[in-house]
Amino acid sequence: MSLLEVNNLTISFGGLRAVDGFQLQIKKGQLYGLIGPNGAGKTTVFNLLTGVYKPNEGIVKLDGQDITGLRTIEINKAGIARTFQNIRLFKELTVLDNVKVGLHNHYHYNTIEGILRLPRYHRVEREMNERAMELLKVFGLDNEADFLASNLPYGKQRKLEIARALATNPKLLLLDEPAAGMNPNETGELMDMIRFVRDEFQMTVLLIEHDMKLVSGICEELTVLNFGRVLTQGETATVLNDPQVITAYLGED
């Protein structure tokens, strides 16, 4: 059964079709890649899937639920979380508090309980701290829990952003160029981490990536975008050997 079904997704900006008739199906538990040359429309697709943009046409279904055109917070609650090409952490908050931000979808206390520090407030805060620390341990960040997020090295900031996304308990995790700015050793660790996340959290993952070693190493299927349209789709090895894909990437870094 498909977890994500996208049909005829289309959006235009000033008369230019940035995404034109995009189609996609991702099965539960898949590691799926979305690739294409710079400017192909990949991040625009992510923005459409997460409610940053509303499509002009098309339907998006998550686990059978139509989420087309919903607000970002509603889509997140329905089960889609994401990271960004340019890391977006709350850098003035601690590592622990960044993860706790993601937990607020599932842990609640009212304003009065928070102001008066009533028993429910302390219980919920304790549960959130425990869950946040569990996630930080998964990513080897538990020893930096009290650090400011801005003080983490780049690779660990990437990990923290993924941990915060997982704190929302998503069904589908969108990773926008997670290896950007990483050295080869960090990229290798990232590949292992993405596999671990899929297996440990029974997660479905869709990633945008330019690092073809990472793509070929972890993605089971690929969709290739070019000029906002799907160029080809299928199993990773078949797609990467497609002459159309090779031609589309000529001149790319």
- Most confident region among 13-17, 173-177, 181-185 by mean pLDDT: 173-177
Which H/E stretch holds residue 27?
Answer: strand 16-27
Any bridge partners for residue 148, and if so which? 94
Residue with tokens 């400011």: 148
DSSP β-bridge partners for residue 35:
224
Q: What residues contact 29, with CB distance under 8 A and at least 6 apart?
A: 198, 202, 203, 204
Pick among 3.40.50.300, 3.20.20.70, 3.30.43.10, 1.20.120.420: CATH of 1-79+170-253: 3.40.50.300
pTM of the model: 0.90
- Pick the closest to residue 207 from 173, 182, 156, 233 (CA basis): 173
> What is the per-residue pLDDT for 253?
43
For residue 54, the tally of other CB atoms under 10 A from its CB is 12
Statement: residue 241 has pLDDT above 60: yes
pLDDT at 247 over 70: yes
pLDDT bin (cut points 50, 70, 90) of residue 182 is confident
Residue 171 neighbours by CB under 8 Å, 6+ apart: 3, 62, 63, 79, 80, 203, 204
Q: What digits encode the pLDDT tens for the residues 49-86?
A: 999 999 999 999 999 999 999 999 999 999 999 999 89
What digits encode the pLDDT tens for the residues 96-120? 999 999 887 765 555 655 555 666 6
In the chain, where the domains are located: 1-79+170-253, 90-168
Nearest to 36 by CA among 209, 213, 235: 209
pLDDT tens-place string over residues 161-175: 999 999 999 999 999
